[in-house]
Amino acid sequence: ILKEKQPNLPVEIVVMGKSEIEPLMLLPYPVHLLGMIQKPEDLAMVYGACDVFVIPSLEDNLPNTVMESLACGLPVAGFDTGGIPEMVRAGLEGEIVPQKDAEALANGIAQILGKESYRTAARLKAEQCYAEPIVAQQYIHLYKSLIELA
């Protein structure tokens, strides 16, 4: 869909993790299969080299991959699934579209590409919501509130 709508858009696809090669070779773009990436610094380099993280999950709670991409300043395009819309605000850190709407996902990807404001907002979201001191303080607040209830 993206290729049909924007045939001159220079796109390459990077795939991390386990995947079947045959379906990926049917895509109208060059595909780079990286396999499993073990080292956090290597993972950060891959995220940093990309322009958009696409998560077409139909079921997911709070995916670490979204948090990792945001921490690397990589905006996210994905479906309105589980906790993803809580992690990514449409129009700011990425684009969230209705489930199973492939055309909307393609439009979201195109919307993100080339706009630096998404990258800046993605990194800021990670710093404000997912940094270790922030999360630790949230746990402390939770534990204190539970103790007060007891």
Give the pLDDT confidence of 52-87 residue by residue, as tens digits. 999 999 999 989 999 999 999 999 999 999 999 999
pLDDT digits 0-9 by tens, 5-34: 999 999 999 999 999 999 999 999 999 999
Percent of the chain with pLDDT over 90: 95
pLDDT at 38: 94
Residues listed for the chain: 150
At 150, the pLDDT band (50, 70, 90 cuts) reads: confident
At 114, the pLDDT band (50, 70, 90 cuts) reads: confident
pLDDT at 32: 96
pTM attached to this predicted model:
0.90
How far the first Cα of the chain sits from its last, in Å, is 55
Alpha-carbon distance of 140 to 122, in angstroms, equals: 26
Among residues 94, 95, 92, 44, the alpha carbon closest in space to that of 72 is found at 44
User: Given a cut of 80, is residue 134 above it in pLDDT?
Assistant: yes
Runs of H (alpha helix) within 34-115: 40-49, 64-71, 84-87, 102-112
pLDDT at 73: 96
Name the 3-class secondary structure at 54. Answer: strand
Name the 3-class secondary structure at 76. Answer: strand
